[in-house]
Each structure stands twice: as C-alpha cells, then as structure tokens.
Amino acid sequence: MKVGGTIYLDHQATTPVDPRVFEKMAAAFTYEFGNPHASEHVIGWRAAEAIATSALQVASLVGADPDEVIFTSGATEANNLALLGLADHAERSGRRKILLSAIEHKSVLAAGRVLARRHGLDVATVRVDRHGRVDEAALAAQLNEGGVLLVSILAVNNEIGTIQAVNRIGALAGAAGALFHCDAAQAPCAIDVGDLLQNADLISLSSHKIYGPSGIGALIARRGVQPLLTPLIHGGGQQNGLRSGTLPLPLCIGFGAAAELLSGDSANEERDRVRACRDLFIETLLAEGCVVVANGPDNASRHPGNANLLLRGIAAADLLAALQPTLAASSGSACTSGIPEPSHVLRAIGLTGDEADCSIRFSFGRSTTAHEALEAARAVAAAVDRISDGTIRATL
C-alpha cells in the first residue's frame, strides 16, 4: 500500500487497520458506546455482549475458550503479566528458573531482568543458531537441570521472521514440568495458529500486528494457569481479577474482527500472496545488481512478509534516509529513548555490530501489491547507487 505516496513496507512494526475492521468498530464510537461493566441497564448489557463476542473471536484464533482471554493494552503488557505475574508462584513452588531465548522481544527480556533483580529468580538465556532457531538440545539440557518454572519463546521473530517449532518446544517444557509462554504477536500473519494453545500455557497477542487497532492485545491463559498469576493492575477486579480496568469497547471489537479475518483458507491464500510480493522484491533487488544477504532463516522457515537484508558497506540509517519519502521500512536496530543500539537479535545470530548497522527489515503485508514490490526494489537499488556511487554494485 501507499500512504501519501510512500510505499509502506513496515508491516511488522504495525499494520494498517483493515477497512472491514474499522467498519465493525465505528458503531462503538457513536451510539453503541456503553460500558461493558455497567450491569444494570441494556446499554451495558449490549456492550458486555460485544466484549463476549470479541473474546470468542480472539480465543478461536489460537484454539482457546473465551474465558481464557485476558484483554490487555497490547503484547508488551501481556508479556509482562505472563512473566511478572508468576513471580509469587515461583516463591510458592520453589521453581526459580526462567528460560528465555536470546532473540526475545525486548519486553520479555526486560521483564526477565526485573524477575532477576527484584525477585532473585535465576533467568537464563537459551541460545539460537545463525538462523534464529532455538537450540532444542541446549534447551532440553537446561530443563533437565530442574527447577524451571517458565520457558518463554517467540513463535515468530519480529526482526528476522524466524518461525520456531513451538510444538516441540512446548512439549519439552511440559515434560520437565515447566510452563510455556509464547509471544505470538507476529505469528497469526505468518502461520496457522489455530492449535497454538495445545502447545502453550500462556500466549501473548497484539491487535495492531494483525490489522486491528493499536492499544489492545491479550494474554491467553489456560484456566489452570490463571490462579498462578498475580495481577499487575488492581482496581475493580475485572477479567477474573487478573486485569482491572474498564475494557475499551471499540478496541476490543476491532481486535476480535481482525482475529476473525485470519481464520480459514483465505488467511493461507493471503500469506501466499504476501510471500510472492516479498520474493519478487528480493529477486528484483538481485536483478538490479544489489548485493544483499538475507539475515536469518531460509524463506520456507521465515515469516512470509519478512525480508531482513544486509547490504554490506551501506549504513541502514543512510539508506533509509535516502529512501524518504518514497519508502517506509525499518533498520535492524532497536531504539530506546532515542538512543540507537545494535540489534540484539542480529548479534545473537552472529552478525557483527557493523553488519547489524547495515541491515534493514522490509516487511510486506495484506495491502502490498506486486507493482509496489517492484517499485520499492528499484527505489532501493537507486538509493544504493546514490550512496555508494556504484562501488558496491555487482551483477550476481
């Protein structure tokens, strides 16, 4: 898609709200605006019914039941509730080890540091290979040491698109008596997640990664796990006491509608179409003579919309600046409080700091066209030419 003439290739950062989703949300901003917790009148009842429908839609996306959905402000809050919410249970159970992969989302890694610093838990890293895949043998060995409370692994990496074998990872964790948390924010647009709760105890989701509105997400928590969680937000005791606060009716409706659109054969057809645009983009870059290296897994094991590319000798910041306002993409670097730093994901799979600084994530989505993929590749090739004066161009 184009936004004001800019080709948008940053769908893994956020997706545009699907028009079909916005249509479902619109009424809740006007006349269907009730507080779903107002239990004494019909307007509140209707709002509660809409929330129940949304919970069912979100639950169905991952094979859960509606009462296992805890709406949050997004996947970051869901990740925090999943990890920090288990701190008290760690004390009670005597299981004091937490295992996180080296390429988790920063919200998971930050929550892990809090568990270690404030609660004295043993938080250890599970290594990954150069493709970003979790070393399952290393994970099994760490689990066999005993005392593991929780394993937390991204289903699909947000930077390099690696798709993990969450069924095998969940089985390893379960066999060792550990809980398995899966940050699945990027997963629904990449793979079929219809049976994900069969392999996980806790699942984090985000609406704005699946063409729903920003500001809403969910932690899917098995019924048997919910009593183990200590809430982070206190108040009126909503959502089984696990997350107090008035639920944002329009956002919940939008989240549910977005989740429903990712069910069925049409979702697989969409992934195939997005993959074709991604592949066309890379093929065109190569045909234009750009020397690029894909960071992470092969395309068969990667998010269909993800192309994380290393262009040696070209700083990502310089290339992205040269592409404005033609193209929107993002560097492989994370930015915290405005301070750039090398991507921990790219460093974990073996890239040097300089290589990480020369890497860009192009991410394709539902509204990307083949023509835009071609146009974007040619724009990147032209920008590389301008920056390097042709010194790094080569015919492959």
Q: Name the one residue in this structure whose structure tokens are 């993002």.
A: 330
- Residues 187 and 50 grouped into a single domain: yes
Q: What is the pTM of this model?
A: 0.95
The 10 Å Cβ neighbour count of residue 33 is 13
Quick: pLDDT tens for 174-230: 999 999 999 999 999 999 999 999 999 999 999 999 999 999 999 999 999 999 999
Q: Determine the pLDDT at residue 342.
A: 79
335 in active site: yes
308 and 322 housed in the same domain: yes
Structural domain boundaries enclosing 360: 2-16+265-394
Same domain, 201 and 327: no
- Same domain? For 58 and 148 the reply is yes
pLDDT tens digits, residue range 362-383?
999 999 999 999 999 999 999 9
Strand order in the sheet with 330-331: 293-294, 306-310, 359-363, 330-331
In this structure, the number of other CB atoms found within 10 A of the CB of residue 3 comes to 10
Contacts of 181 (CB under 8 A, 6+ apart): 79, 82, 83, 150, 151, 152, 153, 200, 201, 202, 203, 204
Same domain, 305 and 378: yes
- Residue 339: predicted pLDDT: 58
Task: Give me the CATH number covering residue 389.
Answer: 3.90.1150.10
Picking from 261, 292, 313, the residue at the C-terminal end of a domain is 261
Query: CA–CA separation, 299 vs 117, rounded Å?
Result: 39
Give the end of a domain, one of 261, 292, 323: 261
Cα-based distances in Å from 343 to 14, 123, 160, 357: 18, 21, 11, 8
Tell me the three-class secondary structure of the chain, residue by residue. CEECCEEECECCCCCCCCHHHHHHHHHHHCCCCCCCCCCCCHHHHHHHHHHHHHHHHHHHHHCCCHHHEEEECCHHHHHHHHHHCCHHHHHHHCCCEEEEECCCCHHHHHHHHHHHHHHCCEEEEECECCCCCECHHHHHHHHHCCCEEEEEEECECCCCCEECCHHHHHHHHHHCCCEEEEECCCCCCCCCCCCHHHCCCEEEEEHHHCCCCCCCEEEEECCCCHHHCCCCCCCCCCCCCCCCCCCCHHHHHHHHHHHHHCCCHHHHHHHHHHHHHHHHHHHHHHHCCCCCEECCCCHHHECCCEEEEECCCCCHHHHHHHCCCCEECEECCEEECCEEECCHHHHHCCCCHHHHHCEEEEECCCCCCHHHHHHHHHHHHHHHHHHHCCCCCCCC
pLDDT of 263 reads 84
- Residues 7, 41, single domain; the answer is no
- So what's the pLDDT on residue 336? 52
- Between helix 75-84 and helix 106-119 the angle, nearest 10°, is 30
Query: Are residue 173 and residue 101 in the same domain, yes or no?
Result: yes
Same domain, 382 and 253: no
pLDDT 10s digit of each residue in the chain, 396 long? 899 999 999 999 999 999 999 999 998 998 889 999 999 999 999 999 999 999 999 999 999 999 999 999 999 999 999 999 999 999 999 999 999 999 999 999 999 999 999 999 999 999 999 999 999 999 999 999 999 999 999 999 999 999 999 999 999 999 999 999 999 999 999 999 999 999 999 999 999 999 999 999 999 999 999 999 999 999 999 999 999 999 999 999 999 999 999 988 899 999 999 999 999 999 999 999 999 999 999 988 999 999 999 999 999 999 999 999 999 999 965 455 455 677 999 999 999 999 999 999 999 999 999 999 999 999 999 999 999 875 544 432
The Cα–Cα gap between 376 and 343 comes to 24
Query: φ, ψ for residue 321 (rounded to 5)?
Result: -65, -40
* pLDDT at residue 395, as a whole number: 32
Assess whether 10 and 61 both reside in one domain: no
Based on the fold, state whether residues 25 and 123 are members of the same structural domain: yes
Identified catalytic residue from 182, 252, 335, 358: 335
For residue 23, how many other CB atoms are within 10 A of its CB?
A: 12
Q: Which of 216, 244, 261 is the last residue of a domain?
A: 261
CATH number for position 119: 3.40.640.10
Total domain count, the chain: 2
Report which residue type is found at 291. Answer: V
> Is residue 157 domain-shared with residue 283, that is, in the same domain?
no
d(CA 186, CA 13): 10
Residues 247 and 353 in one domain: no
